[in-house]
Structure 1
């Protein structure tokens, strides 16, 4: 008998196993145990990915309800729906949940599910670490929300600036919960990033060279490297904050040789790459959806990959544009202005490649493509206001006004949530074996698109006429009543779009 026709065998400290026994043992090894214990103990990347996605969307809905409560409070002057203290907790919980418990985890969840399938490997690298990362993430989120329900939620903004978040001005346990949650969620993010990097570099199928991997995988790979370099900064700063609060250190206390601006440098060294950590996976969604519904290959594969690398690199060079109002040297500010404007170039290259793909294709306007087109429109508008805020004189005037709130949401919702909804509609059959309704999807898109622009575009005007951020009420006669009422009406339409999505799912 030739070597080619011999049956495969496995030796395990005993006689050779036949093909049927080998198959039986491997099937048993890879199977998920039945029942609740099997669900809890599974390390299959698809099950963990689904669990991550569902959990992240639960946090998204909770944060959305908080946003709706804020808009109802601000829909008219001198409303008393929320007390000042509860409002502070709500806007802190909204931002913290969206940034730390939804935006980054949901992007990594798609990576956990899809990257091993796209590179042709049976399991993600370090599957037990992958399962562990989910439970750490869930523990951090549940701890924070239980504290909020018990009226011990953080009330210092999702950025927790010192000295407000220090022991002198925030006694009690509220900020401690926030700082501890940061450690939990960032450990989870770092674990997933290590898994994605190792999976892509070491577990690709034979013949799948780097120039053949999908653009979604490139986006997740660059994002994972950004997480590895950015997340330690916020973990260190939150640990320093909790030590200042609990054991009497003085990292951020100027009276004892500390520096309050050190917090801002450490936080924004993470915080601005965070925006691109959220955005780059979304570009992977877009680059996957567009060729399918444009019915032609993606235009400019190499240019898109290089743009991902450029964005990841430049994203670490512009954190100080969050600090133009702190009195830093003007010469230094000029470098961050240049970096803030330069980073628009790789984003522009991506936009033009996507438009060229549509232009040269035969587009079929299904729901995923509608969300991609909505993303392009909204993200370009947000990018333009970002270029404006890169200018020190304009930023100094608009800083801490609703103009920045509008820009921030145009970039993050436009740059992440629109592609995310498109990705859910696109990959829902892969996740569940079922298709979502196209008619409900179209309603979902138009309600979300109209509601979003109605909510956040008036905030540009509010900011330019002087309405500051983070105020729980405002007097009549300031000219803020109309735009605020319009924004609150838009928030209701936006919520109807999300409710349509939920009903569809």
Structure 2
């Protein structure tokens, strides 16, 4: 009975996963992709996701799982799902967003070398584990008998892991080089369509001096796509007072109603984090006296954080 539920749950996972894969492919196919380093990582993410998903579906078959369970086939699957998906997605995000965060571009040449080494090393390291698992190599064992036939394949896995480590090192060198002497990024180095690319890099603390008026899904591409009935505006709208105000709108029609005066910068969130750290550390170590102190400190921090300091009200004048 337990195997039946496991198999059914594993098969159910494939449906939204397959939809996601086809949605990603269709998004790239229907657009005009430009071959940049972030796109290489994103496309590789889709490939890694597909390989990890297919190998996971194989274990959903109870008959196959009897053979694959606790072998290196499962190790390969979990690495493709966790490291392949997360690592390539995170590296794509860093390459894409670091220019906006720091105002400096990463090197395309170093980025290409890092991607090539990471992609090659990752697949050389973990793709072989499917084969060793099918050959019966068990996991969670620190040593194996000589002459089992896994030595050459495991050597390729070892070499691939070192190649991948070199790629990560090249990536880190590229990040450090970008922080120190990378070329200026400008507001929109990727020619992206969304609002965050309309401000300087790095952005000012308040992003926009006025609340933007958005008229389409791609505000920075409206003249090219001619979508929507109006035009977005980044300079006309309610003026924020040093970024400490927010517009309150009606729930149904989003009509401007109030201007909420937000709280100023505070250290209470930081103190709350320290109190939580004290509480959970004390619980892990079974230090009940310190846990009680953590509860009291947490209550004091929350009270100080949430204590009302400024009332919300209407602003009579037209602040435009």
TM-score by length of 1: 0.34
Q: CA deviation at 1:470?
A: 2.1
- Correspondence 1:340 to 2:10: yes
Count of aligned residue pairs for this structure pair = 175
The C-alpha deviation readout for 1:172-202, integer Å capped at 9, x for no partner, is xxxxxxxxxxxxxxxxxxxxxxxxxxxxxxx
The residue aligned with 2:106 is 436
Q: CA deviation at 1:379?
A: 1.1
TM-score by length of 2: 0.53
Write the distance in 2 (CA, Å) between the matches of 1:429 and 1:382: 31
Which residue of 13, 23, 27 corresponds with 1:357? 27
- Correspondence 1:457 to 2:127: yes
The residue aligned with 1:64 is none
Q: Name the SS for the 2:65 alignment partner.
A: helix
Which residue of 139, 155, 163 corresponds with 1:493? 163
Q: CA deviation at 1:393?
A: 2.0
1:90-101 superposed matches below 5 A: none
Write the distance in 1 (CA, Å) between the matches of 2:6 and 2:27: 33
Larger RCO of the pair (alpha carbons < 8 Å, separation 6+): 1
Q: CA deviation at 1:443?
A: 1.0
Structure showing the higher helix proportion among its residues: 1
Write the distance in 1 (CA, Å) between the matches of 2:9 and 2:72: 24
Aligned Cα RMSD in Å?
1.1
Which residue of 143, 147, 150 corresponds with 1:477? 147
Write the distance in 1 (CA, Å) between the matches of 2:137 and 2:112: 35
Q: CA deviation at 1:366?
A: 0.6
Write the distance in 2 (CA, Å) between the matches of 1:461 and 1:356: 32
- Correspondence 1:448 to 2:106: no
The residue aligned with 1:191 is none
Write the distance in 2 (CA, Å) between the matches of 1:400 and 1:336: 15
The C-alpha deviation readout for 1:6-29, integer Å capped at 9, x for no partner, is xxxxxxxxxxxxxxxxxxxxxxxx
Write the distance in 2 (CA, Å) between the matches of 1:352 and 1:467: 34
1:119-134 superposed matches below 5 A: none
The residue aligned with 1:7 is none
1:98-497 superposed matches below 5 A: 331-497=1-167
The residue aligned with 1:55 is none
Write the distance in 2 (CA, Å) between the matches of 1:431 and 1:469: 42
Q: CA deviation at 1:394?
A: 1.6
Q: Name the SS for the 1:381 alignment partner.
A: helix
Q: CA deviation at 1:409?
A: 0.3
Q: CA deviation at 1:434?
A: 1.6
Q: Name the SS for the 1:466 alignment partner.
A: coil
Q: CA deviation at 1:382?
A: 0.7
The residue aligned with 1:296 is none
Q: CA deviation at 1:333?
A: 2.3
Q: CA deviation at 1:473?
A: 2.0
Q: Name the SS for the 1:364 alignment partner.
A: coil
Write the distance in 1 (CA, Å) between the matches of 2:132 and 2:148: 10
Q: CA deviation at 1:391?
A: 1.6
Write the distance in 2 (CA, Å) between the matches of 1:475 and 1:357: 49
Write the distance in 2 (CA, Å) between the matches of 1:341 and 1:372: 25
Write the distance in 2 (CA, Å) between the matches of 1:476 and 1:345: 42
The C-alpha deviation readout for 1:56-108, integer Å capped at 9, x for no partner, is xxxxxxxxxxxxxxxxxxxxxxxxxxxxxxxxxxxxxxxxxxxxxxxxxxxxx
Q: CA deviation at 1:483?
A: 0.5
The structure number with the bigger radius of gyration is 2
Q: Name the SS for the 2:45 alignment partner.
A: helix
Write the distance in 2 (CA, Å) between the matches of 1:450 and 1:424: 20
